[in-house]
Amino acid sequence: MEYYSKQISRLIEEFSRLPGIGSKSAQRLAFHVINMPKEQVESLAKTLVDARNNVCYCEQCCTLTDQKICPICKNPDRDQKTIMVVETPRDLAAYEKTGKYYGTYHVLHGAISPMLGIGPGDIRLKELMQRLQGDVEEVIIATNSSLEGETTAMYISKLIKPTGIKVSRIASGVPVGGDLEYIDEVTLLRALEGRTQL
């Protein structure tokens, strides 16, 4: 049974297709948009269409940008000889927020996952290998510590090691504020192996 008119139902349906948006959140968003001033709705719609039409992959690092080369790759103060490999643009943003990394990035847009049918050819590995033909001294692999992230890290490491370029992996272990008794054994082992001298 239809509770709402066709237009409202369609709007709810479209919102519910977004990741992380359930039916109740979709309803709240739909009614919020309907109650917004018409100019704001038009501005939102235009922004969505413009973003979809104008955002593309950076020709160098494959992050999302509205220019050929993203601002990070263009920045002459960045260390072009160090590349941090991340899975998504969100991961890149997380490292940028630290304000402590001064190299460049390479965004894979995924991770190798045989269970999901995602192989090395389905992520941006070819572009990474092309970048390594240039003057690169270190590749920092910063994929997630999930099974897929670890698989991807091992695969990339095996590809790069024969080139003589230094390959490192981000440390992982006990989160700040975490109680040791609640942390799994693998994480504790990683924390132990990645310990640093004080």
Q: What is the CA radius of gyration of the chain?
A: 21
Tokens 């919102």 -> residue:
15
Q: Between β-strands 79-86 and 138-141, what pairing exists: parallel, antiparallel or unpaired?
A: parallel
Q: Enter the pTM of the model.
A: 0.81
Ordered alpha helix ranges (H), 80-124: 89-98
The amino acid sitting at 25 is S
Domain residue extents for the chain: 78-171
Cα torsion 120, 71, 100, 188 to 10°: value is -20
What CATH number belongs to 78-171?
A: 3.40.1360.10
198 residues of the chain, pLDDT tens digit each: 467 788 988 999 999 999 999 999 999 999 999 999 999 999 999 999 999 999 999 999 999 999 999 999 999 999 999 999 999 999 999 899 888 889 999 999 999 998 889 988 899 999 999 999 989 999 999 998 888 888 999 999 999 999 999 999 887 776 777 676 777 777 777 777 776 665
Closest to 74 measured CA to CA, from 64, 85, 61: 61
